[in-house]
Amino acid sequence: AAAEPPEPEPGGRYEAVVPHWFYCKVTDTRERWVPFSAQDSERLEEAHGAGKDQDDVVVPTSGGRYDVHLRTRQRVAVYWEEEVSEVRRCTWFYKGDKDNKYIPYSESFSEELEEAYMIAVTLDEWKKKLESPNREVIILHNPKLMVHYHPVASSDDWVSTPTEQGRPRTVKRGVENIAVEIPSGEPLQIDHLVFVVHGIGPACDIRFRSIVQCVNDFRNVSLSMLQAHFKKAQEQQQVGRVEFLPVNWHSSLHSTGVDVDLERITLPSINRLRHFINDTILDVFFYNSSTYCQTIVDTVASEMNRLHQLFLQRNPLFKGGVSIAGHSLGSLILFDLLTNQKADPEEDEHRAQGSRTTSSTGSIEEVKEILKKLELSEYCDAFEKEKMDRQALFLCTEKNLKEMGIPLGPRMKILHYISSKAEIKVWSLSQHGNSPDDGRNCQYRDVGLGQVSANYPQLNYKPTIFFAFGSPIGMFLTVRGVKRIDPKYSLPTCKGFFNIFHPFDPVAYRIEPMIVPDLEFEPMLLPHHKGRKRMHLELKEGLTRMSVDLKNNLLGSLRVAWQSFTRAPVPALEAGSTEAEAEAEAGTEKQPDTKPEEPPTALKEEAPLINVGRLNGGNRIDYVLQEKPIESFNEYLFALQGHLCYWESEDTVLLVLKEIYQTKGITLDQPLPGSQ
């Protein structure tokens, strides 16, 4: 808290109080007043001072993620659904014995208090009494001592005890006199946009918080990492910040009415556990059902497209790229979406210009051939009118065909043709999936195998990098029958892919061994954000090295002893034997020196030579976090925490920022040891 203001002299000069804007955050029916950042409060005060309250002016705050409606004093979330918060221009505050923080008075009552304070200071007349709207009394004893008394209980009100009535609240004037941390605010310049997709269930971490709260943490950590590791670039105004926006698909899936159907068939016993399973773990099964998989991929793609469009509308000067990140099942959803994006630049151009049809005329002729083959030539005009090429035909659903006015019989014929062609394609992939020409014959032959039958929507942009946190992609690909990923394969529209996991995460699997199955190698160890390995890991490595040295020395000594014991006692060979013994001893002494050094040198030579294919542009894909000292005591105890740790992990956030800014040619102030 700031120092108390000096006590004014009798008849001293009055100085108006400096207001600060707060908003009310309600969690579990408990209200908490949170200050806006210094820059947001200044903006709101400026708009208020200009008399814009009457016009219902909207002021963007919190980096543009929330709008404040000045007239109604409401704070509204822009990109996601959230309860509207009350906003207040605060000048006077009170705190009771049971309150942790100061609570602001209403704006109207604060004005009354300020008027009374002004008169008291100007005329030097203190001991002023004011009655609040709740019949509570505030006494201004002097500038440093102002108290708030509860109303006196009536004779029939036996609930309030005299001690409760007599304990006053502390009253403070001005935000500088209360212990509250006011954030400075976020950089206005946004360099890059990242969409974050959650995994199973509505809760995303060990504290059962929503995706919005977890992404808020991730964003806050990114701001502190930028200040710590990109200071030079910030000073040169090369770096602003990265915006992270949450993508929620769980609520859309569970609003389809499936919860009611599940409730009917759920057994009444162990109610909470069954409800938890229905709400979380069943999401994996929903994704493997073609009906609900379609709902999920449609929701994720349309939500990311909507957010992207809305973000560009609100930030017209934004020139940065877009990346995507997925946690747990969210990473698998994104992976499946990315493997089904169209990479043809002509198609992208065609989609952007809208009316151009010259590039697809050949495909429309193919559709006519198909219809002719099915004896449905009379519907050619309908398909031509809708500019339906071969690719669009294979994305058609029964609903689409019905909307085109195609009768039931022809609809069934077309859908049967589409499904039979899809079956032939999957059969050919499984038959020839291991041929050396996979990359040439079919670009996404391996990874597309066994995917749930769904029409994967297209994104309106090409992601720069795809980050997977605690991802089961490797396991799902294996279960689908993908034995290996072609080294020549890369995601059609996204050139970067990082698979980041905690060593104890039970849901995470590696990707690199599927690309290079014949070579055993460790994942890349993610450097600690403070620039070194955690001490317990260094200690563990040191002890391992020491035990190898001891083992080699002991084996060498035993070998020499055994050789001398089994040697025949021939006097003529004594001189020779001593020489042989000396050589053997020399050999065993040299061995422990060279052996422990060999693996590191071998690794140093080997690390750059590991070719993990084009999935991440030739760079390493798997990155493992360093566990904390307490976590290394019991892997099983921290397994669940290991799966939910990414939101507040500085090491994860720093890797994300490092890779994003590397695409812009901006590097860390000081390279971290062990990083690429």
Query: Residues with Cβ < 8 Å from 220, sequence gap 6 or more?
Result: none
Residue owning tokens 């219809």? 371
In 3-state terms, what secondary structure has residue 573? helix
Contact 140, 170 (CB under 8 A): no
Contact 173, 116 (CB under 8 A): no
Q: Give phi and psi for 466, each to the nearest 5.
A: -115, 120
DSSP string of 241-301?
EEEEEEE--HHHHHTSSHHHHHHHHS-SSSHHHHHHHHHTTHHHHHHTSHHHHHHHHHHHH
DSSP letter at 379? G
d(CA 268, CA 291): 27
Task: Show the tokens assigned to 217.
Answer: 């943490």
In 3-state terms, what secondary structure has residue 305? helix
290 is catalytic: no
Contact 128, 120 (CB under 8 A): yes
Contacts 24+ apart (CB under 8 A), 105-114: 105/132, 106/133, 109/133, 113/138, 113/171, 113/173, 114/16, 114/17, 114/173
Number of Cβ within a 10 Å radius of residue 368: 16
Cα→Cα distances 426→226, 326, 333, 364, 449, Å: 46, 27, 20, 24, 7
DSSP letter at 167? -
Query: What is the edge-to-edge ordering of all strands in the sheet holding 30-35?
Result: 30-35, 20-27, 85-90, 74-77, 66-69, 58-61
Number of Cβ within a 10 Å radius of residue 636: 8
d(CA 190, CA 655): 18
Catalytic residue (choose from 85, 323, 328, 360) = 328
Cα→Cα distances 386→298, 406, 416, 536, Å: 22, 12, 21, 65
Active-site positions?
328
